[in-house]
């Protein structure tokens, strides 16, 4: 009887701890890197400049490529760190890591620190993809585990190099992502999570999609773009 009570208490604590990890994922995902850098450099609100997006591409447009790259890298680290934390504490819990990835993306999109505004979470999502692929959540051979990274990045790079439109590359990569995880033999829960990452990407890019159809989406063209 006493043992049963201890087991129930442990399970309750375990569930609470996982909920706290999910909340931490949202809060870390919410850190608005682009907003912070723009505030430091120009003292204004990046949402009022360029595309109005709180992300690396708009930092490139408004502050230059160097700051944009730093922003993209740090946003990617946000995604990777939360996957790493999930792995270190619950290395076999694929449901938890899937929830953590979605919470991190939603945090970036609906930041708790800037009134639920945010970016489109492409860099953050790619950081998560690296984390899920590199860390041994599954028993696939290492080359097969990391293959989704190269498939997704390669597809994005090809589309961007041809059209010079970041959003188009991101949308095509979003479609490829669950397929990449499926063909590399990841469990269904990771494939399902990848599908949700892609769905969120499409929802985040709805205005871009409309501009793409109208032929009005902005291109990145060298310096000063």
Q: What is the pLDDT of residues 177-190, one digit of tens each?
A: 999 999 999 999 99
pLDDT of 225 above 50 = no
- The answer to the question of residue 220 being in a domain is no
pLDDT of 215 above 80 = yes
State how far the Cα of 31 lies from the Cα of 27, in Å rounded to an integer. Answer: 7
Number of independent structural domains in the chain: 1
pLDDT of 221 reads: 66
pLDDT single digits (tens) 33-72: 999 999 999 999 999 998 889 999 899 989 999 999 999 9
pLDDT of 4 reads: 65
Pinpoint the alpha helices (H) of the chain. Answer: 2-29, 33-42, 56-63, 65-89, 94-109, 122-134, 142-163, 166-183, 188-204, 206-214
Q: Answer whether 180's CB lies under 8 Å from 13's CB.
A: no
- The answer to the question of residue 129 being in a domain is yes
List Cβ neighbours of 192 (8 Å cut-off, separation of 6 or more).
Answer: 98, 178
Parent domain of 63: 2-214
Q: What is the pTM of this model?
A: 0.90
Q: Answer whether 152's CB lies under 8 Å from 176's CB.
A: yes
- The answer to the question of residue 223 being in a domain is no
Q: Which of 137, 72, 136, 126 is nearest to 104 (CA)?
A: 126
pLDDT single digits (tens) 95-144: 999 999 999 999 999 999 999 999 999 999 999 999 999 999 998 999 99
- The answer to the question of residue 114 being in a domain is yes
- The answer to the question of residue 222 being in a domain is no
- The answer to the question of residue 225 being in a domain is no
Confidence of residue 3 (pLDDT cuts 50, 70, 90): low
- The answer to the question of residue 25 being in a domain is yes
Question: How crowded is residue 13: how many other Cβ atoms within 10 Å of its Cβ?
Answer: 10
């Amino acid at each position: 009887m006493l043992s049963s009570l201890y087991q129930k208490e442990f399970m309750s604590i375990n569930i609470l701890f996982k909920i706290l990890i999910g909340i931490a994922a949202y809060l870390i995902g919410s850190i608005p890197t682009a907003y912070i850098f723009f505030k430091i450099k120009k003292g204004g609100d990046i949402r009022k400049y360029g595309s109005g997006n709180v992300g690396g591409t708009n930092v490139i447009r408004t502050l230059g490529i160097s700051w944009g790259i730093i922003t993209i890298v740090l946003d990617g680290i946000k995604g990777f760190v939360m996957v790493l934390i999930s792995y270190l504490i619950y290395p076999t819990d694929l449901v938890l890591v899937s929830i953590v990835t979605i919470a991190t993306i939603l945090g970036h999109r609906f930041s708790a620190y800037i009134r639920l505004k945010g970016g489109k979470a492409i860099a953050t999502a790619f950081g998560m993809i690296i984390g899920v692929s590199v860390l041994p959540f599954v028993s696939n051979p290492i080359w097969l585990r990391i293959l989704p990274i190269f498939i997704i990045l390669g597809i994005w790079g090809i589309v961007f190099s041809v059209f010079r439109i970041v959003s188009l590359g991101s949308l095509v990569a979003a479609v490829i992502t669950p397929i990449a995880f499926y063909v590399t033999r990841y469990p269904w829960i990771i494939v399902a999570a990848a599908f949700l990452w892609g769905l969120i990407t499409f929802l985040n890019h709805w205005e871009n999609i409309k501009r793409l159809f109208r032929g009005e989406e902005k291109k990145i063209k060298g310096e000063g773009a």
